[in-house]
Chain A
Amino acid sequence: MNRISSVVRMHLKDRLGWFMLPWIILGSSFVVNLGIAAFVEEPITTGGLASIYIYMLVGGIVSLVQTYPFAIGFTVRRQDYLIGTLATMTGISVYSAIVLVLLGAIEKETSWGVDLSFFHLNYLSDGNLLAQWWVHFGIMLSMLVGGFFISSIHRKFGKNGMFAFFIAVSLILSVAIFIVSANDGWDAIGRWLKDHPPTAAELSAGMLLLSVIFGFASHLLLRKAAV
């Protein structure tokens, strides 16, 4: 059997983790918000949707920890493992995004009878169904691959390496912010954003580009990582 499809199967065996828990968590957030909306007069918009994205971020982090020693321990190639994992994450993002778009469409028509905006949100759900799917897909895949990338750093460089990475990122961000402030750049940025407001779809494309970079970076990190 093709090793890559074996890796995909390996991930999907964990039905609880990929197919049940994310929806249970999202579902409970939804139910709570539904309850609140029923009691409140005005229409409410809530950010409970974020729960599934956070779950996927954590899922990405955890997937490496759980499956890398297992797969490599069972003599799977690192290359096959990476491709299989990225393929699995893509598939999960595809199907999850479809479900979210469908739920958003239902919400758009019914507001669930209590004027709740949970799945169909301004800005995020702008555009047609395909655009909406693209946004959900982009965010979800970025969370998954981003989490996986963070885990790869930990795998290769250990706890200290991970801290070093985050410190480095903070430093770079701080320096960047300082430079912008020093040059009174915030106005320019604000104006540019007003003239070229990025759509959610464009942001999503940007995140996907980031995912590709993360994926490649994970490959470099795992190439010579011990088990």
Chain B
Amino acid sequence: MNNIVEITGLTKKYRDQIAVHNVSFALEANKIYGLLGRNGAGKTTIMHMITAQAFPTSGELKVFGEAPYENNRVLSQLCFIKESQKYPDNYRVVDVLDIAETFFPNWDREFAYALVKDFQLPLKRRMKRLSRGMLSAVGIIVGLASRAMLTIFDEPYLGLDAVARSLFYDRLLEDYAENPRTIVLSTHLIDEVSKLLEHVLVIDNGELILNEDAEELRGQASTVVGAAAKTEAFAIGRQIIHRESMGGLASITFMGRLDAEDRKQAEQLGLEIAPVSLQQLVVHLSKRNQGNKEAIAL
């Protein structure tokens, strides 16, 4: 079995909307994936279905080659850390860690407590008295210390400041290097994590609009800025994904790498070339997907 997760034609319909529409993709072992997209795009629904916490309307879903529902062979190797995770009211931080140890067979206790020190968590404090940031830290610690073969983080850093987030990335990379496994990071802080990702999946409006190697994506789009007419001229025939204008200036973003010829031409036209970050790319593609849908609806 090569693929940790295999999803074919996955669809989830609620009474008044289609949350996930005909999504297909596969996740390989020992890679860090980014599952990106706007809020409400369907990412969380997909993750809930992968972990058997929600049920598909149609389509096939296999994790470790089997259906995950009520399947301990699969479920015991899954760890899903969501930002909305609820904990029993009377539990303290140390209680969550103790119980997590019994739920996750690969749990590393030493690692967990080292992380507790790193994030400076008060072990004896009740979960409902934790700040939003500390609550997220608990989730991160459970996610990392579980060493589950498929670990999914859904917006794991609500309330964490930049220093704590950087700490998370550091610990994640360190442990991932020593204990390879499949990690899925779902976030809207795309640029921050873009260097960590090996592969990028973008969901928009319930559909998969991008499924690419992260390194391949870099440089696949460019932004050209300059006098409006000249910029438009340069952009003719290119696959435009975003336009902006301010007075006589225009900024056009399009798909496609710029070679030396292009650069020279741009320079001659007095245009500036700017790179497109992963975050910008995802935002533009999402908006475009939205625009297409509205056009079709009309």
Q: Given contacts A17-B90, A66-B88, A73-B80, is CB(A226)–CB(B70) below 8 Å?
A: no
Whether the Cβ atoms of B88 and A14 lie closer than 8 Å is yes
Indicate whether B85 reaches chain A with its CB closer than 8 angstroms.
yes
Specify which chain B residues have a CB less than 8 angstroms from the CB of A71 in the assembled complex.
103
For A9, give its contact among B48, B89, B99 (CB under 8 Å): B99
Name the CB-closest residue of B to A77: B70
CA distance A17 to B78 in the complex (A): 29
**Which chain B residues in 90-109 approach chain A with CB under 8 Å?**
90-91, 95, 98-100, 102-105
Query: Which partner residue on chain B sits nearest A71 by CB separation?
Result: B103
Specify which chain B residues have a CB less than 8 angstroms from the CB of A75 in the assembled complex: 51-52, 75-76, 78-80, 103
A79 within 8 A of B: yes
Bound-state Cα–Cα, A70 to B138, Å: 13
A49 at the interface (CB under 8 A from B): no
Mark each residue of chain B from 25 to 51: 1 if its CB lies under 8 Å from any CB of chain A, else 0: 000000000000000000000001001
B91–A14 contact, CB under 8 A? yes
> In the complex, how many angstroms separate the beta carbon of A198 from the nearest chain B beta carbon?
38
Task: State whether the Cβ of A1 lies closer than 8 Å to any Cβ in chain B.
Answer: yes
- The answer to whether A13 and B80 touch (CB under 8 A), given A73-B86, A77-B75, is no
Q: Is the CB of B82 within 8 A of A70?
A: no
**Contact yes or no, B72 A3, CB < 8 A:** yes
A interface SS class:
helix
A127 to chain B: closest CB distance in Å? 37
Nearest CB on B from A7, distance (A):
9
Across the interface, A76 reaches (CB within 8 A) one of B86, B87, B103, namely B103
Closest to B53 in A: A227
Residue among A13, A77, A226 making CB contact with B91, cutoff 8 Å? A13
Q: Is A156 an interface residue (CB 8 A)?
A: no
* Pairwise interchain contact A14-B48, C-beta atoms closer than 8 A: no
Smallest CB–CB gap between B140 and chain A, Å? 14
Say whether, besides A77-B72, A226-B55, A6 and B48 are in contact (CB < 8 Å).
Answer: no
Residues of B within 8 A of A72 (CB): 53
* 17 pairs, A vs B, C-beta closer than 8 Å: A9-B102, A13-B91, A14-B90, A14-B91, A16-B90, A17-B90, A70-B87, A73-B80, A74-B99, A74-B100, A75-B78, A77-B72, A224-B55, A226-B48, A226-B55, A227-B48, A227-B53
Given contacts A9-B102, A14-B88, 11 further A-B contacts (CB under 8 A): A14-B91, A72-B53, A73-B53, A74-B99, A74-B100, A75-B75, A77-B71, A224-B55, A226-B54, A227-B53, A227-B54
Footprint of B on A, CB under 8 Å? 1, 3, 5-6, 9-10, 13-14, 16-17, 66-67, 69-80, 224, 226-227
